[in-house]
Chains A and B, each alone.
Chain A
């Protein structure tokens, strides 16, 4: 009888375990967890790149690591919970270098400062506890770190004192990287608005924030007093820097044969009077910055979420499936220069004719010649 009971209990446990596996495979596991998509930064011949749990400094000419440091253990806000994702040491933001220090904002809500020479941790803000998760990244200007936190707060942190100078609560999720033009900080929010704040005190500068029809997660770019920003409402907007008034917009409603069908996730690039705006529908829309007229549409054949760069007079774009295209800014023709065959989501970085691509698959960073497409070196981050 006791043996029978044991068998029955075993059977019940087996059924229960099976059910857990089925449920988990159907949702938790197949749902992508928080793994991060940090890009890289190039400064003084060194490429700094972060992955889940570590930060590496790599010699840009030969791909040899100068140092690699594990990120301080973060007690995750989400714990091991499948639902909230593991926030521990996950990094979405690019590292930023300023004055001999490399700064990194993490998804768990910490800002770490490392010595550029040896990777030693100098300080962490806050030393205890957490600010809200940082996804967009850090912007440094005159000794102040500006950042937007997931919970909706835009904050200015004094590097010298490691104290918050001011903060502004947008009231909604913030994923975007802020941008500065003059003495104004621009930051977009999930609440579908673009805010213009005084960099000195965080006060709003426009009578009201600029409103779109979808969340905005990209940083704005500037040209001749105009802000250009893409939104998840499938529109690209040109806004007056001073007044926050719309100048033009390009969207699904625009009279074109090939309107944008998906999100403007990547930050656009401006070159030679044209704006190059990649879309997740696999196209790069080239528009005249003055009136938003569509000049041409380049079909890259795969979704683009990685922000492009302007390198040696060419716009370099990476598709999610790892194909790297170079667009001639004179005639808007594109050529495929490299196919990595790996997922690319993080923004590209470039310097001296070399493109640095951090792939999501295998956590590798590739240095690729922007002209020939030849891989100069690759480095796998631990």
Chain B
């Protein structure tokens, strides 16, 4: 048995039959089947995806240190490699951690989209070819051919709008996982890939049946959602939005709030100092008039009373800062 036959038996056949049977259960809608099976498979593989995303995030956090090392050992590649490995070891980050889960998932993705192509069977030849993959389940025989109409799509034909969605979702997903590299070479390479990959997938989507493009869109959206929750935000995308020239240098909401808070604190502080000074003057005048020591205690009390107010002005920024630190 050659490797192709093994692949067919182990990966393609089960996937194809599940797709067909599921389409029968899901009201005969193959579009819905693609969406559901993609979600299920991505859900099953979530632990691996999370591992990969966490590893990617850990790698990203090390980027400044790596950049430092690159700068420091620019002329000694061996030393640089050794230092990088040391850094990875010390930080508990494995560069293979990003790649390995992806490699494990890759065959399943390939099997899924090869199965989609085969089940869609857009030509008589491919429909005839499909017969060799079918199990003897009665549901499989009654469900064929699958209904390739879904929303505005004919899943057997390419669709322009879906191709654009593939490109857009891929760009977002890629942008989220990029980091601001200090290395100009890496930066340029990242920028090129960021544009090239979505463009290439748009081209492929316009070439292949839209059933496959639907799978890509759903898969990209799932990755975006997972990335958002696992890495805790929009990653490189939020960085891109903040630096977007069309938005100018508009500060984000958090910065604005911080500035408002600082201004408020300054205002309260100035007000309290003025009030304090006025009180000191009036108390001193009274003490001078009474001539006893109780006035000092009273002043202390008064200061104690002001202490609260004054300390608040001193504590507020600290409190704010501490909350921010916590959020971070």
Q: Which residues of A contact B (CB under 8 A)?
A: 4-5, 8-9, 11-13, 15-16, 19-20, 23, 26-28, 30-35, 37, 81-85, 92, 107, 135, 173, 175, 190, 213-215, 232-234, 252, 261-263, 265, 280, 303, 305, 345
Q: Does B126 make an interface contact (CB < 8 A)?
A: yes
CB contact under 8 A between A303 and B131, given known A31-B126, A92-B124, A261-B136: yes
Q: Does B204 make an interface contact (CB < 8 A)?
A: yes
Q: A5-B188, A31-B118, A32-B126 are in contact. List 11 more A-B contacts (CB 8 A).
A: A20-B204, A31-B117, A32-B128, A83-B122, A84-B158, A85-B122, A252-B136, A263-B131, A265-B131, A280-B131, A303-B132
Partner of A214, one of B132, B141, B196, B204: B141
> Is the Cβ of A32 less than 8 Å from the Cβ of B200?
no
Contacts of B141 in A (CB 8 A): 213-214, 232-234, 263
Which parts of B73-124 form the interface with A (CB within 8 Å)?
Answer: 110, 113-114, 117-118, 122-124
Which parts of B106-160 form the interface with A (CB within 8 Å)?
Answer: 110, 113-114, 117-118, 122-126, 128-129, 131-132, 134, 136, 138, 141-142, 144-145, 156-158
Q: Which residues of B contact A (CB under 8 A)?
A: 110, 113-114, 117-118, 122-126, 128-129, 131-132, 134, 136, 138, 141-142, 144-145, 156-158, 185, 188-189, 192-193, 196-197, 200, 204, 207-210, 212
Shortest C-beta distance, B251 to chain A (Å), equals 33
CB contact under 8 A between A15 and B193, given known A5-B188, A8-B185, A173-B145: yes
> Is the Cβ of A8 less than 8 Å from the Cβ of B158?
no
> Is the Cβ of A190 less than 8 Å from the Cβ of B145?
yes
- Tell me the complex Cα distance, A23–B144, Å: 26
Q: List 25 A-B contacts (CB under 8 A).
A: A8-B189, A12-B196, A15-B196, A16-B196, A19-B200, A27-B212, A31-B129, A32-B125, A32-B126, A32-B128, A33-B126, A34-B125, A82-B207, A83-B212, A84-B123, A85-B126, A173-B145, A175-B124, A213-B142, A232-B141, A252-B138, A262-B131, A263-B131, A265-B128, A280-B131
Shortest C-beta distance, B99 to chain A (Å), equals 15
Contacts of A175 in B (CB 8 A): 124
- Tell me the complex Cα distance, A371–B293, Å: 137
Kindly report which residue of chain B lies nearest to residue A19, judged by CB atoms: B200
Partner of B144, one of A83, A232, A345: A232
Contacts of B122 in A (CB 8 A): 83-85
> Is the Cβ of A262 less than 8 Å from the Cβ of B188?
no
> Is the Cβ of B123 less than 8 Å from the Cβ of A85?
yes
Contacts of B158 in A (CB 8 A): 81, 83-84
Contacts of A26 in B (CB 8 A): 110, 113-114
Contacts of A213 in B (CB 8 A): 141-142
Contacts of B144 in A (CB 8 A): 214-215, 232
> Is the Cβ of A35 less than 8 Å from the Cβ of B125?
yes
Shortest C-beta distance, B207 to chain A (Å), equals 5
Kindly report which residue of chain B lies nearest to residue A235, judged by CB atoms: B141
- Tell me the complex Cα distance, A262–B158, Å: 31
CB contact under 8 A between A135 and B200, given known A12-B189, A252-B138, A263-B131: no
Instruction: State the main secondary structure of chain A at its contact with B.
Output: loop
- Tell me the complex Cα distance, A339–B259, Å: 87
> Is the Cβ of A33 less than 8 Å from the Cβ of B204?
no
Contacts of B123 in A (CB 8 A): 32-34, 84-85
Contacts of B124 in A (CB 8 A): 34, 37, 92, 107, 135, 175
Contacts of B142 in A (CB 8 A): 213-214, 233
Partner of B129, one of A12, A32, A92: A32
Kindly report which residue of chain B lies nearest to residue A212, judged by CB atoms: B142
> Is the Cβ of A83 less than 8 Å from the Cβ of B157?
yes
Contacts of A265 in B (CB 8 A): 128, 131
Q: Which of A13, A30, A32, A190 has the most CB of B within 10 A?
A: A32
Shortest C-beta distance, B277 to chain A (Å), equals 62
Kindly report which residue of chain B lies nearest to residue A231, judged by CB atoms: B141
CB contact under 8 A between A16 and B197, given known A23-B204, A345-B128: yes
Contacts of B136 in A (CB 8 A): 252, 261
Shortest C-beta distance, A52 to chain B (Å), equals 11
* 9 closest cross-chain pairs (CB), A and B: A34-B123, A12-B192, A83-B209, A32-B125, A85-B123, A83-B208, A27-B117, A213-B142, A16-B196
- Tell me the complex Cα distance, A356–B157, Å: 36
Kindly report which residue of chain B lies nearest to residue A280, judged by CB atoms: B131
Shortest C-beta distance, B19 to chain A (Å), equals 14
- Tell me the complex Cα distance, A303–B129, Å: 11
Partner of A8, one of B126, B131, B156, B192: B192
- Tell me the complex Cα distance, A252–B144, Å: 17
Kindly report which residue of chain B lies nearest to residue A28, judged by CB atoms: B208
> Is the Cβ of A262 less than 8 Å from the Cβ of B134?
yes
> Is the Cβ of B188 less than 8 Å from the Cβ of A8?
yes
